[in-house]
Amino acid sequence: MSTSVKQATWAIDPIHSTIRFDAKYLLITSVSGWFREFEGTVVSGQDGFCNSEINLTIYVNALTTGNEERDNHLRSPDFFDARQFPMIQFRSTGVTMQDKNIHVTGILTVKGIEHPFSFTANFLGMCADPMGNTKAAFDMDTVLNRKDFNITWNQLFDKNGLLLSDEVKVHCDLQLLKLS
């Protein structure tokens, strides 16, 4: 008699989730931006998130920093080149869980460049919302090097400093909605 492993399918709830990035400007202060449109799924084992399959799509045209001129520059070929590469994508290759930490490895694709990417997310819990839907929540912080994805535009200022940092901090607050 064969036993099958029950799986659960979850979708990112975009209304209750955020993806933010911060980069140093003049190498002393941070400029923050958000991706307002994204979608993703997690297929997990019924009893937890170990060995999950995670897929995430972020729409580059939906980025905002609160400054239209800067947003347009970030969408240009100098940075994300949104016309040619409208999406940032992530797919997991491994997910393990230890206590409340979820260790995720995968492939991040930005501007058509695939790069191995690992991060640790914090599992914040699971509960039913007021409508009876099952929700799970995670947050994570990580740092990326934008040059890994051929995002190299920069300028010198004051003859000895760079305008932008190569490192970009990413923070996500994600709420998942259980579909099945």
Instruction: Tell me the domains of the chain and their CATH numbers.
Output: 7-178 (2.40.128.110)
Confidence of residue 12 (pLDDT cuts 50, 70, 90): very high
pLDDT tens-place string over residues 125-167: 999 999 999 999 999 999 999 999 999 988 877 766 777 889 9
- DSSP codes, 96-130: EEETTEEEEEEEEEETTEEEEEEEEEEEEEEEE-T
Residues 144 and 118 sit within 8 Å (Cβ to Cβ): no
pLDDT at 124 over 80: yes
pTM over 0.85: yes
pLDDT on residue 121:
97
- Strands 18-25, 29-35: pairing is antiparallel
